[in-house]
A = this chain, B = another copy of it.
Amino acid sequence: KEQSLLLAAAYVYDAQYNRNIPFETASQAVRLYYLYNHWTMQAATYFFIFIDLSLALFEEPAAYPLPFLATSLVEVMCLLAFFGRLFHFAKVTPRDVFWKDAKNICIMIAILMTLVDLIIYGSLRISNIQSVRWSRPMRPIFLINFAESRQIRRAFRSIRNTLPEITYVFLLFMFSLLMFSLMALKLFGDRNLKTVDGLPYFTDYLSIVFEMYVLVTTANSPDVMMPAYNFSGWYCLFFITYVVINTYIFMSVFLAVVYNNYRKHLKNEIRKLVYMKRRKMVEAFNLLKVKEGAEFVIKEDQWKNLIKLVAPDISTSHRELLLRISDEEQKGHVDKKSFVRLADLLNIQVITMKLRSHPLAIWFPHMYNSASSLFIRSIVQHKGFVWMYDVIILINAVFIALDEKNPFISYAEWVFLSLYIVEILLKLYTYEPRTFFARNQFWNWFDTFIIIAALIATVLNTTLKSVTVYNSQQVLDIVFILRVLRLIRIIDSIQRFRVIMNTLINIVPTMLTFGGLALVVYYIFAIVGMEIFQGKVQFFAGNTSAQHASYCGNPSLKDSAFAHSKYCKNNFNNIVSSFIVLMELTVVNQWHVLASGFALVTHEAAKLFFITFHIVVVIMIINIFVAFILEAFFVEY
């Protein structure tokens, strides 16, 4: 009896969280399955994944160097944790299912490969032979393939499904690129034209193809056109036709293909999820059903026991509400149709709008309900109170924009801070604190956090100023940022802005999935980029007067656009700066300067690394991101 209740609860739990893991139904296995899904185990898995990925910070080339022994020990520890998690999963799920699942095989291979790599690298290191840690780009496999990362996997699946279709469009696009480049070679190659830097213009086919690819990304427009345009006005037609076809039409078609597939795919996934959820609920129902007249039902007390197992944290009133919805006619039992809906009902957040009395009204009823207290509370509740503070915020904005040096203005800062603190205190006096800080009161949380943080930072800053001669810049920066963030509150006063903001806040979870996706791709490119480009470009802080600092410590960069633009800090010398370079490449602008710079310090073929990054991140991932936002916005707005 209790066994089947436990099993049914596991099914409901899986349905509620859209989990789809087949597990053994033996009593022991179900308990193991509960443990497997416990939040501490999941958190631990994520913790080890995080540690494993973070190792790149401490390994050569390191942002914060640690000895190889330390990082490799930590890595082995992570691998052990992954193996343990996988072993646990193997105990939970039926054996044939386990071995058929590509995810598990993937993780095992990744663990094995990493160990082999560690051993080879370690022993070569002992013999003082420099080699490559080739298993490092495989680390994101752990992030993708553990069952918890369902969303990221779905996004990757979406990309994989789009690939065949996008490949054809891409080939057509490449064909167009090659044709136009050929035309450009024929039209401009023999004219002895020069670029702004005095270099020959459009004389070599491969470099024309690169320039034309860059033009698709718009990064060298209109510079790439100017020599030809200055020579003859008619030649601009060539470039305009090219941009219209390749930048506008082809890039829109890429978005269309990605978005179309994304929608199609999403629809399928949702259909599958709904089907799977229903099946789990029916299985749970079958475990607990009893015959009542002509139909099978679940008795009320059994249903309550189930809820206590599935959602132990919800309040009694919430549980009663669920029962009222599930057993509308109050027959004392729940039928199949109502029961199946339970998984969705459990996901609805119930905000208990209890008309709680203010604690002060309970502790000091006389004082709290006195005439003056009532007057204060009516003022705080009045619209004019919000307006007054909107005006204060606007005045504050002007003061912030004014010069900090003036002592009167820095004094005013204290006045504003006090005014904001008074506002929060007054609100807490008027409104019931637990309601004020309810989970859905985003703006109240935001305000309070910003004000308290600003108070702490300002006090800290003043203390540091008076105690030491050293004026802590970091604290001051935080004070500045918090001071400006305070102004954001004014958005909340305008209804339409609030709607848009709420839409944006609601799509944050979707964007976090996307963040995971981006992290995986960035990580792989960063590790590969570090292996190729580490140490080739150096940044010399401060002493920029040194000669070699002007060309990033690499003579190949003399007179390059890379060095002229002072891009030396955009290098692959550690994972942090690699990520920043990749971010700049994602924004696209000036990516050809970066690509050409790294090609100068290595080989022309290095441009392929940057082109690949552009294709993967900008054409695929960013378009998926836009499709994400379009779809999320259509649903939410």
Q: Which residue of A230, A400, A633 has the most chain B CB atoms within 10 A of its CB atom?
A: A230
A588 to chain B, nearest CB (A): 6
Q: Tell me whether A15 is interfacial, beta carbon within 8 Å.
A: no
Which residues of chain B are near A565, meaning CB under 8 Å? 196, 223, 226
Task: Please determine whether B179 and A253 come into contact, CB atoms closer than 8 angstroms.
Answer: no
CB atoms of A221 and B587 under 8 A apart: yes
CB pair B205 A587 closer than 8 Å:
no
Smallest Cβ-Cβ distance to A629: which chain B residue: B252
Q: Decide if A294 is an interface residue (CB 8 Å cutoff).
A: no
Query: Are B496 and A168 in contact, CB atoms less than 8 angstroms apart?
Result: yes
B179→A480 contact, CB < 8 A:
no
Cβ B221 vs Cβ A569 within 8 A: no
Report whether A580 and B187 are in contact in the complex, using a CB–CB cutoff of 8 Å. Answer: no
A576 within 8 A of B: yes
**Cβ distance A442 to chain B, nearest Cβ, rounded Å:** 16
A185 at the interface (CB under 8 A from B): yes
Q: Verify if A248 is at the interface (C-beta below 8 Å from B).
A: yes
Closest approach, in angstroms, between the C-beta of A6 and any C-beta of chain B? Answer: 44
Residue A293 CB within 8 A of the other chain: no
Query: Is the beta-carbon distance between A584 and B230 smaller than 8 angstroms?
Result: no
Query: Does any Cβ of B come within 8 Å of A125's Cβ?
Result: no
A222 touches B187 (CB 8 A): no
Least CB distance, A613 to chain B, in whole angstroms: 15
Q: With CB as the reference atom, state the residue of chain B lying closest to A481.
A: B183
Nearest CB of B to A236, in Å: 5
Does the CB pair A196–B564 fall under 8 Å?
A: yes
| B491 engages A589 (CB within 8 Å) | no
Contacts of A179 in B (CB 8 A): 484-485, 487-488
- Please give, as numbers and ranges, the residues of chain B lying within 8 Å of A205 by CB-CB distance: 401
User: Judging by beta carbons under 8 Å apart, are A183 and B497 in contact?
Assistant: no
**A255-B630, A256-B633, A589-B219 are contacts. A401–B566 as well, Cβ < 8 Å?**
no
Q: Give the chain B neighbours of A584 by CB distance below 8 A.
A: 221-222
Which one of B172, B564, B587 lies within 8 Å of A500 (CB-CB)?
B172
In the complex, A220 Cα to B565 Cα: how many Å?
Answer: 11
- Decide if A344 is an interface residue (CB 8 Å cutoff): no
Is the C-beta of A48 less than 8 angstroms from some C-beta in chain B?
A: no
Q: Are B504 and A249 in contact (CB under 8 A)?
A: yes
A102 at the interface (CB under 8 A from B): no
Smallest Cβ distance from A542 to chain B, in angstroms?
10
Known: A587-B222, A589-B220, A625-B248. A172 touches B497 (CB 8 A): yes
Minimum CB distance partner of A633 in chain B = B256
Q: Considering the complex, give the chain B residue whose CB is closest to the CB of A256.
A: B633
> Contact between B186 and A480 (Cβ–Cβ < 8 Å)?
yes
How far does the alpha carbon of A477 sit from the alpha carbon of B236 in the complex, in Å?
Answer: 13
A298 to B371, CA, bound (A): 85
Chain B neighbourhood of A500, CB < 8 A: 168-169, 172, 253
Cβ–Cβ contact B629 & A256, under 8 A: yes
A248 to B400, CA, bound (A): 28
- Residues in chain B near residue A257, CB distance under 8 A: 633, 637
Beta-carbon contact of A626 and B222 below 8 Å: no
User: In the docked arrangement, what's the CA distance between A253 and B504, Å?
Assistant: 9
Cα A218 to Cα B219 with chains together (Å) = 10
How far is B404's CA from A253's CA once the two chains are assembled, in angstroms? 36
Nearest CB of B to A551, in Å: 14
Q: What are 12 A-B residue pairs whose CB atoms fall within 8 Å in the complex?
A: A171-B497, A182-B484, A183-B484, A187-B477, A196-B566, A219-B589, A226-B565, A240-B580, A247-B587, A249-B504, A252-B630, A256-B630
Give A contacts to B, CB under 8 Å: 168-169, 171-172, 175, 179, 182-183, 185-187, 190, 196, 205, 218-223, 226, 229-230, 233, 236, 240, 243, 247-249, 252-253, 255-257, 259-260, 397, 400-401, 404, 477, 480-481, 483-485, 487-488, 490-491, 496-497, 500-501, 504, 511, 539, 541, 564-570, 576-577, 580, 583-584, 587-590, 622, 625-626, 629-630, 633-634, 637
